[in-house]
Chain A
Amino acid sequence: NAGVTQTPKFQVLKTGQSMTLQCAQDMNHEYMSWYRQDPGMGLRLIHYSVGAGITDQGEVPNGYNVSRSTTEDFPLRLLSAAPSQTSVYFCASSPDPGNSGNTIYFGEGSWLTVV
């Protein structure tokens, strides 16, 4: 199994450009999420999904859109990139929402720079 796969690993964007970070998991997990990691800020939840067709906002959703058309895929869209969105982005998945304490599996991260 590949686990959680994110692409691209590195990306440089100009302010105002849009892009999509791709995320796919092959573990048949219902729960998927996107985090951003900034120095000293830990991991902050952007959006999450508890199953195909269901998404919800996390702690820092502004400037980002998500969709969940399949169980496997959970892309994150930056609508109009801003320098404040320079960060490391992690996609994550977890089995079976509703069962407390499920391990979260992370992708390897996407380093995004907005200039």
Chain B
Amino acid sequence: GQQVMQIPQYQHVQEGEDFTTYCNSSTTLSNIQWYKQRPGGHPVFLIQLVKSGEVKKQKRLTFQFGEAKKNSSLHITATQTTDVGTYFCAGEGGYQKVTFGTGTKLQVIP
């Protein structure tokens, strides 16, 4: 079945440093979504990418969808303590078949 891997599993950064997490699917995706989960909380939708090579920005967050629609990345510029949490990608490979990545846990050191 479809597998979605994320790297790294954990990342510690000093506040102000940049952060990137990568998502790779074993199959071509129709779209990819990104979610953020704060410690003790539930996943919350951030963004959806649909087109090959698409790039979207949300303030300090930049999301990319690969040309082959099998990989994606999330880049945070100048991290802040409010960015702490686990970031998940979720790929839809077929009819409502959404597979979540393993997540990247971000810790920001003040």
Binding site for B on A (CB under 8 A): 31, 35, 40-45, 48, 50, 59, 90, 94, 97-98, 100-101, 103-109
Contact B96 A101 (CB under 8 A): no
Give Cα A100–Cα B94 distance, bound, in whole angstroms: 8
B9's partner among A35, A40, A90, A106 (CB-CB below 8 A) is A40
On chain B, the residues within 8 Å of A101 by CB distance are 30-31, 33, 48, 50, 92
On chain A, the residues within 8 Å of B30 by CB distance are 100-101
Say yes or no for B85: interface residue by CB 8 A criterion. no
Contact A109 B42 (CB under 8 A): yes
Residue in chain A with minimal CB distance to B10:
A40
Binding site for A on B (CB under 8 A): 1, 6, 9, 30-31, 33, 35, 41-45, 48, 50, 88, 90, 92, 95-96, 98-103
Give Cα A104–Cα B98 distance, bound, in whole angstroms: 9
Contact A106 B90 (CB under 8 A): no
On chain A, the residues within 8 Å of B6 by CB distance are 42
Given A42-B88, A94-B96, A107–B42 Cβ distance below 8 Å?
yes
Contact B42 A90 (CB under 8 A): yes
CB distance from B92 to the nearest CB of A (A): 6
CB distance from A106 to the nearest CB of B (A): 4
Contact B42 A108 (CB under 8 A): yes
Residue in chain B with minimal CB distance to A35:
B100
On chain A, the residues within 8 Å of B9 by CB distance are 40
A-B contact pairs, 11 of them (CB 8 A): A44-B100, A94-B96, A97-B96, A100-B92, A101-B31, A101-B33, A103-B48, A104-B43, A107-B42, A108-B42, A109-B42
Contact A106 B43 (CB under 8 A): yes
Contact A100 B50 (CB under 8 A): yes
Complex A-B, nearest 4 residue pairs according to Cβ-Cβ distance, in ascending order: A43-B100, A101-B31, A42-B102, A106-B42
Contact B1 A59 (CB under 8 A): yes
On chain B, the residues within 8 Å of A109 by CB distance are 41-42
